[in-house]
Chain A
């Protein structure tokens, strides 16, 4: 288990390093940041001074060396627009997105386990048929459309909920609900499928032949096995929300990482873009490691590899 985990962590670290090198060079490939950053009619002296000040004139390997050196010291550059260290800007935005993602995924996962298991218990029963149609619709709903329609309905017409912004409970309802819809629909389908397989497995027969109660057959014997594929998909979904609930954050005006990334790309705030990418990558890789741990905890066959 320890060996398995340290291997996974090591390979994740390598991925972060690889990603970072790529981000550095890709940013430089788009041209002189000075050209992009300064107004078109900026005089030559200003441009020169700008490049000089930020070290854009140095050979690329020197810039890269400096970049790595700064990184080791925890310095991810300075936001030119916000005139603050980039890392501070990013670390302000990330908890907002993460809390959105955590709430949404918890609701989606537990909802899906209950709905999917019940649907799988009697495949083609009335509950299964309804949940299949609803989950398919949910999984394919375009979130930008649902979000705008919801604002129109609940905020503009009914005036029940605030249109946008961050605040106490009522402010959370719409963004979270919109974020739940797609993962919930998808996860219900995955849970249903894997629970049908698990419930028709031979070990379920053994449990029934032992006289185990039906509730325990479903929620102990079958579910523990049926959860394995679910975790993978849930992790992917969580990662997708974490790296950018871009649409929801933008529509509802939540200052999360998705919104920050879009804004800083549009404003050519490279340090912030780089810092956001690094932090998001670390978050996603951490989610992956959590999935691996969950997987190994649930399935002894993986633990013993």
Chain B
């Protein structure tokens, strides 16, 4: 009896489809789960698995059309909320059940200050007056640890950092002390140390108010650190569910097993012997400094050797991308030099720079934004040859494009298709093929796998690793994600506020971090292995 009383939310046999021009797509196909008081349920799945659609249905914010709830019930405190009228439903939303989103900049209204956005909850549901609700909003901001809450309440969303905005979102969700908070990828856009703090805050609030927490995530590490129970979604179906420990340590379904094996950072191979540090470096960065309004890059020194993968790790604002832009010579340093085979790249004349551009290529983070949507794959890959016209005879373009597509694991027939016809992982393969087009010596990967799902991430990392061996490439691999770096790179540089705080071989850094910041980063990085080894 007691058990039944504790059930806050029960979703049964929920099915949702979307009407598209190509016919209906079944986004959610008959899923069941329940959430109890004081419990965290993690819904794990990759993009397109139906996890956010499920959250939208529960919150009543699914756009219909094109969405359509085909069947199912959602019981909130033993009441089927899908059967309620719009007005009855509205009274529950934000009141008994609240949601926090991933992209806080887009999800907070840019033209209202954050205090009024939180206060609105009290005005809508409790009919409090402006002053009372404002004071309550300030108190909430204090509760989620926003410093100077009273003055900051008058600020607008864009004046906060990502982590602070997520705290604001949490304060807003918390306002009416709901029974349930749904957190839809709450920490995906955040740095690991901030992520750890936000997850701690959520867990703390859950315990303090005996709430139920639904954590929607693609990050197995995040789930492992916070959840009591997990549900694994794939293509709109639950493939596995149970307690965290059972699912993570003894996964039964092949998809769950595959997910677990894609988790980066499982193994550390000894890579010391692979490198030949006695040879001359290809790239040597010396005392590199770059000032914008602040110091973006401060006295940075490192070397890159032939056939080496050098990881550059740091949180946002640490100067990683500035270093990458300087190596690419997209910007000039305030002081310092970069030597490419012993020659300073900032002293290059036009001709030398042109041939340098051929040798150093880049793959960016966002494969949606970095490929021109109006060009097909053939044109995207062959464009560098039009610029470097002596590189390849025009009659050979088609053959070479096919070869490149094969080497990145795509079909030669894909050449006539356009970027929007590919998935994120495939697009990143196209970007890599384009980077390879001019037979470069160095490829800069600026967060090249950060936007990808974990199983796709594993594939791209494998591809990068294979290509390195095949074409004797060197990579500068920039990432904020430590486990990813651990799998791929030979040496790591850890950056903070524009400075290198530590550098060394990957196994040394991971096993014996010296600098306190590196230790913090490692500690904050959510890991599945802590759980498995628990």
Contact = CB atoms under 8 A, between A and B. Distances in A.
B107 A202 contact: yes
Nearest to A298: B111
B243 interface: no
Given A211-B92, A212-B120, A304 B159 contact: yes
Interface of A: 200-203, 205-213, 216, 221, 224-225, 298-301, 304
A301 B59 CA distance: 29
Given A211-B124, A211-B125, A203 B110 contact: yes
Contacts of B159: 304
Nearest to A201: B106
Contacts of B14: none
User: Nearest 7 CB-CB pairs, A to B?
Assistant: A210-B94, A211-B94, A202-B106, A211-B93, A203-B109, A300-B156, A202-B107
B120 A206 contact: no
Contacts of B120: 207, 210, 212
B134 interface: no
Given A212-B124, A300-B158, A205 B93 contact: no
B61 A208 contact: yes
B111 A206 contact: no
B73 interface: no
B60 interface: yes
B118 to A, nearest CB: 9
A300 B111 contact: yes
B256 to A, nearest CB: 30
Given A202-B103, A203-B108, A224-B111, A209 B59 contact: yes
21 contacts: A202-B106, A206-B109, A207-B109, A208-B60, A208-B93, A209-B59, A209-B61, A210-B94, A210-B121, A210-B124, A210-B172, A211-B94, A212-B94, A212-B124, A213-B124, A221-B109, A221-B112, A225-B110, A298-B111, A300-B113, A304-B159
Contacts of B172: 206, 210
Interface residues of B, number: 30
B101 interface: yes
Interface string B84-117: 0000001111110011010100111111110000
Contact of A205 (B61, B92, B124): B61
A300 B101 contact: no
B263 to A, nearest CB: 30
Nearest to A228: B111
A213 B106 CA distance: 20
Contact of A206 (B63, B108, B158): B108
Contacts of B109: 203, 206-207, 221, 224-225
Interface string B416-438: 00000000000000000000000
Contacts of A211: 90-95, 121, 124-125
Contacts of A216: 124
Given A207-B120, A208-B60, A304-B159, 12 more contacts: A202-B107, A209-B59, A209-B99, A210-B94, A211-B91, A213-B90, A300-B110, A300-B113, A300-B156, A300-B158, A301-B110, A304-B156
Nearest to A205: B61
Nearest to A223: B111
A262 B95 CA distance: 64
A303 to B, nearest CB: 9
Nearest to A224: B111
Nearest to B89: A211
A52 to B, nearest CB: 62
A29 B32 CA distance: 83
A227 B76 CA distance: 38
Q: Which of A201, A205, A298 has the most CB of B within 10 A?
A: A205
Give the residue among B60, B90, B172 with the most A Cβ atoms within 10 A.
B90
A85 B517 CA distance: 77
A212 B60 CA distance: 12
A1 to B, nearest CB: 13
